[in-house]
């Protein structure tokens, strides 16, 4: 019992430290300084531009979706769209949670996922966009895939009711979530056709 108390205390301290680091970094969004024809060209990478990138990828790779746009603040400022199932002559509203992270250490990305969203029937997709050395990399999962791999099942939410997740890209291309235990999610990496699988599930 004493050991369990010590472990829980250490976990809570880690979560508090993560929150303090996040607050410090809020005012310092990643900026890439690139040289173009011998001159410095600054490109600001932010959550907004990353979300615009995700919307563009959905429009390009997912023909079954339309009315793709930024969700209202009341809906979490993610992405919302309509699934147009022409075979059934039906249209379904699709909720998508969007998350963005710059690198925290080499090839490692830190996300905070709202606990309530992991239980919501209104969330159908999770999209994690990473600023990988100035290039966008993405992990796309349906809600069913997210739960299949139990990404939040053994996590402890912080005081803001958020789960912390660390995704790491290995040199061999393997992608794992390893904040608390190692879970491989490579097959969802850079596969923008995944949202189309929702057509079959409706």
- C-alpha angle 72-73-74 in degrees, rounded to nearest 5: 90
- Model-level pTM? 0.77
Residue 146: the pLDDT is 95
CA dist 26 and 139 (Å) reads 22
Query: What is the three-class DSSP state of 136?
Result: strand
Residue 9: the pLDDT is 65
Mean pLDDT in order along the chain per 10 residues (202 residues): 63 64 49 35 68 94 92 80 84 92 89 92 94 90 94 89 94 93 95 90 64
Stated as kind and residue range, the H or E segment containing 40 is strand 39-44
């Amino acid at each position: 019992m004493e050991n369990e108390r010590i472990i829980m205390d250490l976990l809570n301290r880690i979560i508090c430290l993560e929150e303090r680091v996040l607050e410090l970094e809020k005012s310092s969004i990643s900026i890439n300084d690139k040289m173009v024809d011998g001159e410095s060209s600054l490109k600001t990478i932010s959550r907004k531009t990353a979300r615009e990138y995700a919307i563009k990828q959905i429009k390009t790779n997912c023909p079954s979706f339309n009315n793709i746009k930024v969700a209202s603040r009341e809906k979490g400022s993610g992405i919302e769209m309509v699934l147009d199932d022409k075979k059934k002559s039906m249209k379904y509203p699709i909720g998508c949670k969007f998350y963005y992270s710059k690198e925290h250490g080499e090839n490692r990305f830190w996300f905070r996922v709202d606990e309530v969203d992991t239980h919501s029937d209104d969330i159908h997709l999770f999209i994690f966009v990473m600023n990988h050395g100035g290039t966008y990399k993405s992990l796309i999962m349906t809600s069913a895939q997210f739960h299949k791999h139990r990404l939040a099942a053994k996590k402890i939410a912080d005081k803001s009711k958020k789960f912390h997740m660390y995704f790491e890209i290995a040199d061999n291309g393997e992608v794992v979530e390893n904040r608390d235990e190692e879970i491989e999610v490579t097959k969802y990496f850079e596969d923008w056709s995944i949202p189309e699988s929702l057509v079959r599930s409706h």
